[in-house]
Chain A
Amino acid sequence: MFDKTLAELAAGLKTGQFSSVELTQAYLARIKAEDTKYNSFISVTDDLALEQAAAADSLIAAGDAGTFTGLPIAHKDIFCTQGVRTSCASKMLDNFISPYNATVVDKFNQAGAVTLGKTNMDEFAMGSSNESSFYGPCKNPWNTDCVPGGSSGGSAAAVSAQLTPAATGSDTGGSIRQPAALCGITGLKPTYGRVSRYGMIAFASSLDQGGPMTKTAEDAALMLNVMAGFDKRDSTSADRDVPDYTADLTKPLDGLRIGLPKEFFSGDINADIAAQTQAAIKEFEKLGATVKEVSLPNTALSIPAYYIIAPAEASSNLSRFDGVRYGYRCEDPVDLEDLYKRSRGEGFGPEVKRRILVGAYALSEGFYDAYYNKAQQIRRLIRDDFTKVLSEVDVIMGPTTPHPAFKIGEKSSDPVAMYMEDIFTLSLNLAGLPGMSIPCGTVDGLPTGLQIIGDYFAEQKLLNVAHQFQLATDWHKQSPQGI
């Protein structure tokens, strides 16, 4: 049962093969028995889950069920969940019981979903390895010596280890796609503004975007149908109609134009990953697609631009954690400044502090033009590169990451080495474009991801392309050994 997709489980609930309570109990028991190996959950919400499952079963019995009624999922611990600890994997919010729901959580509740718990992540979503969590690193189910990627590492590991059929994630520089690639699952970062940011604890507000992490593209479409939509509580929410993301899944790919950026296949990239990406492209050619080489000349600049813009916005966003209104407060502050400084110094971990310091420096008097303004100019160059290429092709493809999962501890003492792993994912956030990662092979027993990039609001196209690949191949059906 644990290998079933959301679509299959929905069918099982509808035909009465099992109840939502039975399904939920089975998953809760599996999390308890198995998650000691992975540390993919920060909180397991047994009572809430069983209450929601019972309510879902009543709806199903009354014939009032929707597609999502009774389906269990997990939320990344960045999404505020009313009455539940929402920690963002930080000591700063270890005691924070959210008084309200994120819009994404509200939408899943309204759709009748069951919340199994809150998943592990890098502290405040700052990281590519899940090692910066206050609750300890999460481990990759394919090899528990390796990182699951980050920052949505817990969501990726939990789906991969079949502790939940699907989970929410958030992506500021690759935090859905990179862990999806490293754990062998499907992840979608929608267009900036497609999914509400309300109640999704802010990291870098002009880049942050929530999205689904699932076993299949079909499941990602089901999730996005619930998550997407305009929200007046998010000042940058896109005020556009939401299509049915499952509607185009079955369209054939005849005539699909794929662009392969030469910059995504050169430089420091694992040779097997490059080869597997090419093999996946061949598969698309068999499905009727045409392929051409394209160029995104400013790809390498996405790293410096991102590592100014994201920390600058983070330093501003994280100023709200002051030890006064919620979250951690230091013991016996001597004065207000001491209260601020020690609450923040003791409440934040090293990577968060590094990024606050970089951001505060970049925004400080005399440096704004050289750093923040320059980065925002480069951001436009990167966006213009994409716009030009996407006027010639329907989708852009390449590897999601340059390397497979690395060992826990291997890069944790060298922030810059860690940042380089985000080379293929950062530029989409800077441009605001949607992107997916789907499994396309393995290297030394570790999964690798194919990234598919589309034009603004072309999520239907991405899901169609990914679904057709998954009908023709079975990389997405591979599981870690023993699972």
Chain B
Amino acid sequence: MSLDRTDVDKIAHLARLQIEEQDAPEYAQNLSNILDLVDQMQAIDTTNVLPMAHPLDAVQRLRSDLVTEENQRELLQSVAPAVENGLFLVPKVIE
């Protein structure tokens, strides 16, 4: 599996990750090497093998529908880059 520049740009966009122009060829090369490595998997027959998502096959725990957490908005927003009136500020998204 070999990835080119266009592939890297497409994946980087999906991941909302800026890749500098000059770094793109190296990422394409690195990613192609990694994909070559993982392609070893394709040689193995896994017909009828159930995918394993959790080592102990655990299931999601449920709890009563009760409020258990206190409101800590001020504390948690104390580390935000930009806040006003308890809201996170971002560049304008709606005209």
List A residues at the B interface (Cβ < 8 Å): 95-99, 192-193, 206, 232, 235-236, 238-239, 298, 300-301, 303-305, 307-308, 315, 319, 322-329, 333-342, 344-346, 348, 350, 353-354, 356-358, 360-361, 364, 370-371, 373-381, 383, 415-416, 419, 430-433, 456
B67 contacts chain A at the CB level, 8 A cutoff: no
CB <8 Å contact, B34 and A235: no
- Among A232, A354, A376, the residue within 8 A (CB) of B51 is A376
Evaluate whether A379 and B17 lie within 8 angstroms (CB atoms) in the complex, with A97-B79, A323-B81 already known.
Answer: no
B85 contacts chain A at the CB level, 8 A cutoff: no
A325 CA to B88 CA, complexed, in Å: 7
CB distance from B28 to the nearest CB of A (A): 10
Chain A residues contacting B53 (CB-CB under 8 Å) are 206, 376
CB <8 Å contact, B37 and A307: yes
Chain A residues contacting B90 (CB-CB under 8 Å) are 324, 336, 339
Closest-by-CB residue of A relative to B72 is A99
CB <8 Å contact, B18 and A304: no
CB <8 Å contact, B51 and A360: no
CB <8 Å contact, B50 and A377: yes
CB <8 Å contact, A304 and B41: yes
Q: Which of B3-29 contact A (CB under 8 A)?
A: 3, 7-8, 11-12, 14-20, 23, 27
Closest-by-CB residue of B relative to A371 is B38
Closest-by-CB residue of A relative to B14 is A360
Mark contacts of B46-84 with chain A using CB atoms, 8 A cut-off: 1 yes-contact digit, 0 otherwise: 100111111110101101000000001001101111100
A389 CA to B75 CA, complexed, in Å: 50
Evaluate whether A357 and B16 lie within 8 angstroms (CB atoms) in the complex, with A374-B46, A415-B34 already known.
Answer: no
9 cross-chain pairs, A with B, having the tightest CB-CB distances, nearest first: A432-B55, A345-B18, A376-B51, A329-B81, A380-B52, A377-B46, A304-B38, A341-B18, A360-B15
Chain B residues contacting A95 (CB-CB under 8 Å) are 79
CB <8 Å contact, A335 and B91: yes
A377 CA to B53 CA, complexed, in Å: 9
Question: Main SS of the interface on chain B?
Answer: loop
CB <8 Å contact, B18 and A99: no
CB distance from A211 to the nearest CB of B (A): 15
CB distance from A328 to the nearest CB of B (A): 8
A95 CA to B81 CA, complexed, in Å: 10
- Among A305, A337, A379, the residue within 8 A (CB) of B16 is A337
Closest-by-CB residue of A relative to B74 is A99
Interface pairs (17), CB distance under 8 Å? A96-B79, A193-B55, A236-B54, A303-B37, A303-B40, A305-B41, A315-B15, A325-B88, A335-B93, A336-B90, A344-B16, A353-B17, A357-B27, A358-B35, A374-B41, A377-B50, A456-B56
CB <8 Å contact, B16 and A341: yes
B2 contacts chain A at the CB level, 8 A cutoff: no
Chain A residues contacting B79 (CB-CB under 8 Å) are 95-99, 326-327
Closest-by-CB residue of A relative to B93 is A336
Evaluate whether A364 and B11 lie within 8 angstroms (CB atoms) in the complex, with A206-B55, A324-B81, A325-B88 already known.
Answer: yes
Evaluate whether A357 and B55 lie within 8 angstroms (CB atoms) in the complex, with A99-B75, A345-B19, A416-B37 already known.
Answer: no
